[in-house]
Amino acid sequence: MQIRFADARPTGEFALVLPSSGTTAPSLDSLGAAKAGVAAALKRSRFEGDAGTVVEIFLEGDGGRRLIVVGTGNKANDGDAVEKFAGAAIARLLTSGETHAVIDLSGLKLDADAAARMAFAAALRSWRYDRYRTRIKEKQKATLTTVTIVGAGQAAEERYATRYAAVVEGVALTRELVTEPANIIYPESFVERVTESVKGLGLEIQVLDRAAMEKLGMGALLGVAQGSVREPKMLVMKWNGGKAGEAPVALIGKGVTFDTGGISIKPAQNMEAMKWDMGGAGAVAGAMKAIAGRKAKANVVGVCGLVENMPDGNAQRPGDVVTTMSGQTVEVINTDAEGRLVLCDAMTWTQRTFKPKSMIDLATLTGAMVITLGHEYAGIFSNDEKLAGQLIKAADESGDKLWRQPLGDAYDRLIDSPIADMKNVGPREAGSITAAQFLLRYVEDGVAWAHLDIAGMAWADKASATAEKGATGYGVRLLDQFIADTAEA
């Protein structure tokens, strides 16, 4: 999607999008003689200007131009309202046959960031991935290619270019990785796809293969991978945009490119959805692209632990004991609780290699998180109040919502093992918490850590203001906002 900014409406063919709060609609004054008819149509449609509500009209006196009036709600500068406005307009026009939409904000008192965020939301909502749809009907094909924002001002254009354009690219990469099937995206091809996507942005790329991880003693990660013919990888992306020698922020993503559950195999129904069990790694890759793309003044390292969990004759068995890179041992009770086994070795390696000032992991870790929070929030667990507060603030600002979850000794005791240092699962209750407690055992002294369980957020079965149903790109905006608020502050 091409996003443009202009001081006045262009000439030629385009669909016109005008904002209205219901009670005030200064942009309708520009319609001239058509204003009265449009106002009457809005009234008959019971339009009250709620954020994201839409009325579509064709103007007789303007060559039959398509007019979309979209509600802004009562708080035009509110981030959610802005996104609902832009998302509703793009959703209505994306496959309409229109190729150009003009959103005229003249008379609407938007600050520069709100106007830029409107453009941002429009770009996000336009994303589609039709690569494998060879027989798609003509009326189902996306036609909208250009959005022009009128009346927002030079400051909004500059804000979009410097703050949001690169984040659009990062979210697009994450959505692409999560959408691709597991025969296309597996550990090796994940590395190749990301490396190609971030070429020229200045990221330093490092890849650890099986031999390197064996030498390092990553028995937990390698245990998950041993049932697959796909070789495990660890992708490391380094961005050095801050002060030389300053400790980085570490972002770590679970990258199980397909999860059958291993020997503890999942039910067949909906198992195809497990192609997005690498959503945490996808979010880290997208965030690193966004951070590098906008030349963030921060030192950040992104680490993706990439494996495939399959039930081969060589697969890990329930009851096996593995030794992690940290030296701690794990009794594998359930091979479908594999993400924490991948993350724990990635966390140990990251801490010992980079000595980060803070460490955040993202993972589609537990179904229990979906039962707890549904698809509205991801869960956040942390050993550091300041870090947790910063992440929740960034979540509220970005729209990638978080809800704090507890940790405690009583939960930690639930994963004690009679024959090893710990089990990889506890009882059925508090499943998301015991998973977080497992990871906490791998956080080294003095490291501020947060675990984001995004199981309910990486994929959506219904559309939102900024995404069609499918891959959401959750986490990219959150991590990028967190870096902007803290590491660049």
Work out the number of other CB atoms within 10 angstroms of the CB of residue 431.
Answer: 20
CA atoms of 484 and 170, how far apart (whole Å): 15
Task: Please provide residue 68's backbone torsions phi and psi, each rounded to the nearest 5 degrees.
Answer: -115, 120
233: part of which helix (H) or strand (E)?
strand 233-240
Active site residue 386: no
Contact 190, 278 (CB under 8 A): yes
Q: In this structure, are residues 144 and 13 in contact, taking their beta carbons and an 8 Å threshold?
A: no
Q: How far is CA 127 from CA 107, 143, 382, in A?
A: 29, 12, 33
For residue 458 the two structure tokens come to 């990486």
- Contact yes or no for 3/160 (Cβ under 8 A): yes
Catalytic residue among 4, 9, 128, 266: 266
Indicate the burial class of 159 (C-beta count within 10 angstroms; 0-12, 13-18, 19 or more): buried
In whole angstroms, what separates CA 75 from the centre of its chain? 26
Q: Yes or no: say if 261 and 233 are a contact pair by the CB < 8 Å rule.
A: no
Ramachandran sector of residue 413 (left: φ over 0; alpha: ψ -120 to 50; beta: rest) = alpha
The one catalytic residue in 84, 117, 294, 340 is 340
Beta bridge partners of 205: 237
Nearest 10 degrees: Cα torsion 21, 26, 31, 32: 140
Q: Which two tokens stand for residue 422?
A: 């710990």
Q: What are the tokens at 215?
A: 């030498």
Q: Quick check: 186 and 169 in contact, CB under 8 A? A: no
> How many whole angstroms separate alpha carbon 396 and alpha carbon 80?
10
Question: Distance between CA atoms of 429 and 447, rounded to whole angstroms?
Answer: 28
Distance CA(129)–CA(165), nearest Å, equals 19
Residue 340 catalytic?
yes
Active-site residue numbers? 266, 340
